[in-house]
Amino acid sequence: MLFFTQCFGAVLDLIHLRFQHYKAKRVFSAAGQLVCVVNPTHSLKYAPTRCAAAQASTEQGTLPPCHHHEVVHDSQLVPCTCPLFSCPWEGHLEVVVSHLRQTHRINILQGAEIVFLATDMHLPAPTDWIIMHSCLGHQFLLVLRKQEKYEGHPQFFATMMLIGTPTQANNFTYRLELNRNQRRLKWEATPRSILECVDSVISDGDCLVLNTSLAQLFSDNGSLAIGIAITTSKVHSSEAEM
């Protein structure tokens, strides 16, 4: 009996996901765009994080990997960069992706342009929506975070990090695009390296920032669709284009 109940639950979940997938497809109608439904994870770490600890030790004169940007080489160990967990894991940059997939069950998607469909936007802060994106021979981590910078006023912050060094990150440009209700918001920037802390990128506000009312305008039935595109940008030409 329990088995049948579980099966029925799973079928309902599949129908729900399929429905959300079609909704996103309707909005992002460009052919060939992958739509990935991303469920929220209530953020488990808001204890002093590895980055905060690293920052403290920097102030004491030692240089931890987290703030050791340009000097980090692939041969060095990096800490677990998953923004969700205070995880004790350390490893080489090359194995960060498999660690994030296997230990933290973060999905990875292929393709130059994908649609990130974050569900259950109404959940209370702090909440994270995370996915990895494989593109142009590199892997990127997209983080959408709901956080209360000002008490009682949750905001949404979205950024993209390269799972690589800051020098490698400088070769790319990422674009996040929201499009609904006769409004369009586009954010374009150079991705940060995963060796920098996602927490500090978000607390600096150097990312796509949405207040709750704008997030609602761009949401459809509690889900927010973000179009993502990554391009190479050896010479960043955007400042001359406008």
Residues 110-139, interacting with a copy of itself (CB under 8 A): none
Phi-psi region of 133 (alpha: psi -120 to 50; beta: other; left: phi over 0): beta
According to the binding rule CB under 8 A, does residue 32 interact with a copy of itself? Answer: no
According to the binding rule CB under 8 A, does residue 59 interact with a copy of itself? Answer: no
The one-letter amino acid code at 106 reads I
| Residue 50 or 192 with smaller CB distance to a copy of itself | 192
Neighbours of 99 (CB within 10 A): 18
The one-letter amino acid code at 90 reads E
According to the binding rule CB under 8 A, does residue 189 interact with a copy of itself? Answer: yes
Chain length of the chain: 242
**Contact stretch for a copy of itself (CB under 8 A) within 6-14, 46-54, 123-131, 200-208:** 200-208
According to the binding rule CB under 8 A, does residue 28 interact with a copy of itself? Answer: yes
| Residue 97 or 196 with smaller CB distance to a copy of itself | 196
Q: Distance between CA 60 and CA 39 in Å, rounded?
A: 39
According to the binding rule CB under 8 A, does residue 221 interact with a copy of itself? Answer: no
- Adjacent-strand bridge partners of 4: none
Residue 37 CA from chain centroid, whole number? 13
According to the binding rule CB under 8 A, does residue 190 interact with a copy of itself? Answer: yes
Classify residue 225 by its DSSP letter. E
Q: Which of 1, 2, 30, 31 binds a copy of itself (CB under 8 A)?
A: 30
Q: Rounded to the nearest whole angstrom, what is the least distance from the CB of residue 211 to a copy of itself in the complex?
A: 5
| Residue 92 or 186 with smaller CB distance to a copy of itself | 186
Q: Distance between CA 216 and CA 11 in Å, rounded?
A: 29
Q: Distance between CA 67 and CA 49 in Å, rounded?
A: 13
According to the binding rule CB under 8 A, does residue 27 interact with a copy of itself? Answer: yes
Residues 158-177, interacting with a copy of itself (CB under 8 A): 173, 177
- Adjacent-strand bridge partners of 178: 185
Residue with tokens 């994080």: 49
Q: Rounded to the nearest whole angstrom, what is the least distance from the CB of residue 199 to a copy of itself in the complex?
A: 15
Q: Could you tell me the two tokens for 53? A: 């600890």
The residues binding a copy of itself (CB under 8 A) are 27-30, 149-150, 153, 173, 177, 179-180, 182-190, 204-206, 209, 211-214, 217, 227, 236, 238-242
